[in-house]
């Protein structure tokens, strides 16, 4: 009992001292140097715009911008042959990072690259030009966790258009989740993307979000994907699902998409790893404004509005 | 007597003729003719829209140029993150959805319902 008390006291003291020693840095220039100097639990306030690539490896840090100034950007002028060959604007490896009130711009590169890490984006805007907003992967033993709240991803060239007969060019991808990644996305807004989400990861919960004028909003290739209370408007294709994925669609609203939902009905011979949909589709209370054939869906999958 | 009957017959035929003529005339004046055209209560002026009358459907496909550049060199990527991302990401990036393109348009005019 005495030794337990001792350990408890030790833990409290340890916790208190580590909290007391967490520091706040104000970064004005050379962000990577500030990151290198920071230790677990530290807060880095961005007080400038940074045109550099940065990486956080094996640390727990929080980046925050107080005003409009906090921007991390990288514009790669040369036309990259393979975007994955370049380091992302922000690279996280075995790290736990929060980004709050920050703008990230990525041109011809990936905005945020994650390997075996945990990231929380709150009130973040990612502006892309021929780039990918966020790519999360893990190795066999590792795991990645992505939490998004009030996140906006848009293409720099994107201009909102009205009407169905608009011609759009898509050049960027919003979020690519794969391997052992869990994604929680609440209240996000993605427009003008080739693909808003490519989901090839273990599990996702995407809710209260808007997807408009994308080529494909959600491309589901595997995993357990839960799509709840979202709005899909004016997309070429709102959702396409393939392979053995498990898809739950609850209370989503589809309006003026060329196609609301496609479950791949035959194997794609020229596409590796892409077979027809043999997974599970569950759902109820979804609303579609288009005249699609609703016979193949279970009762209450579509709400009769 | 025959003369009187003949006169009565002429008067009767005359009355019937005028009455029939009057019926035709009055129906031409009063009868409303139904014109079936689309109207919209929310507009005050006629509006003309373009509508598609002929579509061209294209199948989904994998853009092999994109995929070739992306996927064939995954193993050559130096960093571990890039290698993993490349192996899983190329398919999604290079996939093109099924789509319908309009190749012929026509116009349709919607009139206000009032006074239609």
Give the model confidence (pLDDT) of B39-86 as tens digits: 888 888 887 766 677 777 777 788 888 888 788 888 888 899 999 999
* pLDDT band, residue B92 (cuts 50/70/90): confident
Q: How do residues A26-52 score in pLDDT, each as one tens digit?
A: 888 889 999 999 999 999 999 889 999
Looking at the complex, report in whole angstroms how far the Cα of residue A52 sits from the nearest Cα belonging to chain B: 19
- pLDDT of res. A259: 86
Residue B77 at interface with chain A, using a CB cutoff of 8 Å:
yes
- Cβ separation of A115 and B84 shorter than 8 Å? yes
Rounded mean pLDDT of A128-154? 95
The tokens 């929310």 sit on which residue?
Answer: B42
- pLDDT of res. A248: 96
- Cβ separation of B61 and A270 shorter than 8 Å? yes
Q: Are residue B50 and residue B71 in the same domain, yes or no?
A: no
Asked if pLDDT for residue A6 goes beyond 60, the answer is yes
Asked if pLDDT for residue A297 goes beyond 70, the answer is yes
Q: Nearest-CA neighbor of A194 among A158, A246, A145, A141?
A: A158
- pLDDT of res. B24: 44
Q: In this complex, which of B82, B86, B102 lies closest to A165 when CB atoms are compared? A: B102
Asked if pLDDT for residue B95 goes beyond 60, the answer is yes
Asked if pLDDT for residue B6 goes beyond 70, the answer is yes
Looking at the complex, report in whole angstroms how far the Cα of residue A40 sits from the nearest Cα belonging to chain B: 23
- pLDDT of res. B11: 76
Instruction: Respond yes or no on whether ipTM tops 0.85.
Output: no
* pLDDT band, residue B26 (cuts 50/70/90): very low
Q: Are residue B1 and residue B27 in the same domain, yes or no?
A: yes
- Cβ separation of B91 and A274 shorter than 8 Å? yes
Q: How do residues A186-244 score in pLDDT, each as one tens digit?
A: 999 999 898 999 999 999 999 999 999 898 999 999 999 999 999 999 888 999 999 99
Q: Which residue of B has its CA nearest to A215?
A: B97
* pLDDT band, residue A300 (cuts 50/70/90): confident
Q: Are residue B27 and residue B1 in the same domain, yes or no?
A: yes
Instruction: Report how far residue A272's alpha carbon sits from residue A114's, in angstroms, rounded to the nearest whole number.
Output: 24
b vs e for B59-72, b when ≥16 Cβ sit within 10 Å of the residue's Cβ?
ebebeeeebeebbe
Domain that holds residue B76: 62-96
A residues 149-168 closer than 8 Å to B (CB)? 165
Instruction: Name the average pLDDT for chain A.
Output: 87
Give the Å distances, CA to CA, from B35 to A84, B39, B50.
63, 11, 22
Asked if pLDDT for residue A249 goes beyond 80, the answer is yes
Q: Which residue of B has its CA nearest to A84?
A: B82
Rounded mean pLDDT of A170-178? 91
Q: In this complex, which of A93, A137, A219 lies closest to B92 when CB atoms are compared? A: A219
Asked if pLDDT for residue B114 goes beyond 80, the answer is no
Contacts of B51 in chain A (CB under 8 A): none
Residue A105, C-beta contacts closer than 8 angstroms, at least 6 positions apart: A71, A72, A73, A74, A75, A89, A111, A126, A127, A128, A129, A156
Q: Are residue B86 and residue B106 in the same domain, yes or no?
A: no
Q: How do residues A102-111 score in pLDDT, each as one tens digit?
A: 999 999 899 9
Contacts of A213 in chain B (CB under 8 A): none
Phi/psi region, residue A173 (left: phi>0; alpha: psi -120 to 50; beta: rest), is beta
Asked if pLDDT for residue A16 goes beyond 70, the answer is no
User: Tokens in use for A34?
Assistant: 């500030």
Q: Are residue B74 and residue B18 in the same domain, yes or no?
A: no
Instruction: Report how far residue A136's alpha carbon sits from residue A146's, in angstroms, rounded to the nearest whole number.
Output: 8
Residue B112 at interface with chain A, using a CB cutoff of 8 Å:
no
Percent of chain A residues topping a pLDDT of 70: 86
Looking at the structure of chain B, the number of domains it has is 3
- Cβ separation of A85 and B73 shorter than 8 Å? yes
- Cβ separation of A200 and B100 shorter than 8 Å? no
Q: Are residue B102 and residue B49 in the same domain, yes or no?
A: yes
Residue A221 at interface with chain B, using a CB cutoff of 8 Å:
yes
Q: Are residue B69 and residue B90 in the same domain, yes or no?
A: yes
Q: Are residue B81 and residue B92 in the same domain, yes or no?
A: yes
Asked if pLDDT for residue B93 goes beyond 80, the answer is yes
Asked if pLDDT for residue B25 goes beyond 50, the answer is no
Q: Which residue of B has its CA nearest to A94?
A: B81
Residue A26, C-beta contacts closer than 8 angstroms, at least 6 positions apart: A45, A47
């Amino acid at each position: 009992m005495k030794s337990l008390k001792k350990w408890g006291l030790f833990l409290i003291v340890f916790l208190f001292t580590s909290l007391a020693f967490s520091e706040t840095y104000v970064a004005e220039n050379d962000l990577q140097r500030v990151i290198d100097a920071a230790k677990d639990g530290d807060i880095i306030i961005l007080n400038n715009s940074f045109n550099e690539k940065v990486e956080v490896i094996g640390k727990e840090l929080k980046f925050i911008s107080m005003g409009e100034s906090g921007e991390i950007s990288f514009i790669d002028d040369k036309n990259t042959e393979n975007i994955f060959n370049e380091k992302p604007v922000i690279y996280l490896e075995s790290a736990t990072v929060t980004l709050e009130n920050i703008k990230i711009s990525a041109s011809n590169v990936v905005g945020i690259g994650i390997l075996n890490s945990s990231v929380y984006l709150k009130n973040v805007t990612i502006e892309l030009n021929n780039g990918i907003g966020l790519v999360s992967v893990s190795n066999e033993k590792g795991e990645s966790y992505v939490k998004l709240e009030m996140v906006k991803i848009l293409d720099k060239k994107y201009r909102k258009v009205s009407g169905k007969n608009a011609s759009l060019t898509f050049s960027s991808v919003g979020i690519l989740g794969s391997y052992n990644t869990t994604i929680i996305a609440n209240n996000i807004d993605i427009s003008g993307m080739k693909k808003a989400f490519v989901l090839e990861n273990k599990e996702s919960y995407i809710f209260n979000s808007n997807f408009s004028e994308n080529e494909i909003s959600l491309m589901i290739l595997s995993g357990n994907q839960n799509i709840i209370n979202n709005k899909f408007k004016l997309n070429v294709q709102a959702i396409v699902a393939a392979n053995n994925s498990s898809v739950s669609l609850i209370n989503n609203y589809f309006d003026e998409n060329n196609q609301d939902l496609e479950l791949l009905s035959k194997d794609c011979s020229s596409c590796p790893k892409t077979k027809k949909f043999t997974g599970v589709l569950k759902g109820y209370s979804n609303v579609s404004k288009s005249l699609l054939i609703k016979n193949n869906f279970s009762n209450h999958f579509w709400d009769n509005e | 007597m025959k003369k009187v009957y003949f006169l009565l017959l002429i008067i009767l035929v005359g009355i019937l003729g005028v009455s029939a003529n009057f019926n035709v005339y009055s129906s031409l004046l009063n009868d409303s003719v139904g014109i079936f055209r689309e109207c919209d209560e929310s507009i005050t002026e006629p509006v003309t829209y373009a509508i598609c009358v002929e579509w061209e459907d294209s199948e989904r496909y994998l853009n092999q140029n994109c995929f070739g550049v992306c996927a064939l060199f995954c193993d050559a990527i130096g960093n571990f993150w890039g290698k993993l991302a490349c192996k899983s990401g190329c398919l999604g990036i290079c996939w093109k959805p099924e789509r319908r393109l309009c190749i012929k348009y026509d116009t349709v005019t919607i009139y206000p319902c009032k006074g239609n």
